[in-house]
Amino acid sequence: MRKIMFVLALTLAATTLPARARAQSWQREPGVAMGVDGGVAVVTTDSSKLLSTGVGVLARGGYEFRNGLTPELAVTFARWGAAASDTDASEWQLSVMPGLRWTILGGLIRPWIAAHLGYGRLGIKLQSAQMGTIDVGQDGFAVNSGAGLDVMFTPRFGVGAHLLYNKVVTASDASGRNQEGEEWVTLGAGLALSL
Q: Tell me how far apart the alpha carbons of residues 86 and 151 are, in angstroms, rounded to a whole number.
A: 44
CB 56 within 8 A of CB 184: yes
SS3 107: coil
Looking at residue 23, its pLDDT comes to 47
- What is the pLDDT confidence band of residue 11, given thresholds at 50, 70 and 90? very low
Banded model confidence at residue 29, pLDDT cuts 50, 70, 90: confident
Do 76 and 57 form a contact (C-beta atoms < 8 A)? yes
- Are the beta carbons of 43 and 182 closer than 8 angstroms? yes
Which element (helix H / strand E) includes 15? helix 2-26
State residue 69's pLDDT score.
94
Span 100-124, average pLDDT: 92
| pLDDT digits 0-9 by tens, 142-186 | 999 999 999 988 888 999 999 999 999 988 777 767 778 899 999
Rounded to an integer, what distance in angstroms lies between the CA atom of residue 55 and that of residue 36? Answer: 14
The pLDDT, as a whole number, for residue 158 is 93
What pLDDT score does 87 carry? 65
Would you say 118 and 160 are in contact if contact means Cβ atoms under 8 Å apart? no
**Amino acid at the residue 165:** Y
Contacts of 166 (CB under 8 A, 6+ apart): 41, 56, 76, 78, 93, 95, 142, 143, 144, 183, 184, 185, 186
What are the chain's domains? 29-194 (2.40.160.20)
